[in-house]
A and B are shown apart, each in its own frame.
Chain A
Amino acid sequence: PRAEDTNRQEQLLLRSLGLSGRPRPAGSHQPRRQVPSALWRMFRRAEKLEALESQPCTVSEYGVRGNIIRYVQDQGRLVSGWSRSCQACLEKHLFFNMSILQPVEVLSLAQLEIKLHWKPLSPVQLLQGTQAVAVSLYKVVRSTLKGANPKANRRLVLSQSVQLQRESTSITMDLTALAESWRKPGSNYGLILELLPLRADPEEFLPFYPGNSLPLQPAFALPLVQASLVAVSLNPNQCRSRRR
């Protein structure tokens, strides 16, 4: 009975903290995700501000109201070879589970952060090879059935060319309205990120993944794509006014 009481008390407290239960510990087979440095900075800053109690429930880093900042992990898969329309592209399906937000929470901001970690094959390649990529981001509007034309189910939301930096390149984009629409059950089909390398000499074109006639490229020729959705939300129950 004592253990039951303890569990009940813990559940009450976790619920008041906005959690449905104690989050499960990390799996032994998989290392835990690193804490983004930006989030560490915000945490340190919040610790200092709490002593002053200035502007509670405002995230000054993003200029919005909120008391919860989540780095929502991408759960999409690499769709290498899936596209029939763009054999030279790297395609990545991005999926951010927005159902983790409680219904009471008001979403103030959802910012997509994409990091491309690029390792050229050799220093010479860095000089002569890819210097920019065309980035296209599509919203998937319907579930894609096998055999169906995937292009029919997507809508372009971003198209730009990005200069590649030596080690990593970042792209950020405001997706608040789209992320809000993903909160409705059954409405989140994610995004498709398409990367097409841009080269000065088309003859030297090196696809990210091979076509039928090309040998398999070494894995390190692929840029590593890391995507996070920074979601700032406000739980009004946890941000009462000080004047009562």
Chain B
Amino acid sequence: RSAIHIPVTPSSVCKARRLYISFKDVGWQDWVIAPQGFMANYCHGECPFPLSESLNGTNHAILQTLVHSLDPENTPQPCCVPIRLSSISMLYYDNNDNVVLQHYQDMVVDECGCR
């Protein structure tokens, strides 16, 4: 069977999108001292066939898109997921009113890829 090539507009391709998380919005402003929020971002978009290099696909993802293009009903596209995350530090009050500075890994999406 020949692969079905569906054109994908650049805006719908898998990439990191901006997402600002405000601690006030999640009701944590009473105990988080700083920061007030941070740019967490998220991954969203399609992983179309053929996977270009910019989509950071694994060999498996490349094959999966190929199979998906042949049999879209039974094989989904690879997922658009974070492949590089960075950390943030948070300053907060704990339950004993101690001031705590904590370093948290994997809080910010820097790069997305098809996996």
Contacts and interface: CB of A to CB of B under 8 A. Distances in A.
Interface of A: 10, 17-26, 32-33, 35-36, 39-40, 42-43, 46-47, 50-51, 53, 56-57, 67-73, 75, 97, 100, 238-240
A32 B103 contact: no
Interface in B65-99: 86-99
A71 B86 CA distance: 25
Given A17-B104, A32-B93, A50-B87, 12 more contacts: A18-B102, A19-B94, A20-B95, A23-B31, A23-B94, A43-B89, A53-B86, A67-B103, A68-B101, A69-B100, A71-B99, A239-B103
A39 B98 contact: no
B33 interface: yes
Contact of B95 (A23, A71, A240): A23
Given A23-B31, A26-B30, A33-B97, A39 B91 contact: yes
Interface of B: 26-28, 30-31, 33-35, 86-105
B100 A43 contact: no
B86 A50 contact: yes
Contact of B99 (A24, A46, A70, A100): A70
Contacts of A70: 94, 98-101
B101 A53 contact: no
17 contacts: A17-B102, A21-B95, A23-B92, A24-B95, A33-B99, A39-B101, A40-B91, A50-B86, A50-B89, A68-B100, A69-B101, A72-B96, A75-B96, A97-B96, A100-B96, A100-B98, A239-B103
A236 B19 CA distance: 28
Nearest to A46: B89
Given A25-B31, A26-B30, A68 B102 contact: yes
Nearest to B103: A67
Contacts of B88: 47, 50
A35 B99 contact: yes
A46 B94 contact: no
Between B28, B90, B93, the greatest number of chain A beta carbons within 10 A of the residue's beta carbon is seen for B93
Contacts of B27: 22
A21 B92 CA distance: 13
A35 B94 CA distance: 12
B103 A46 contact: yes
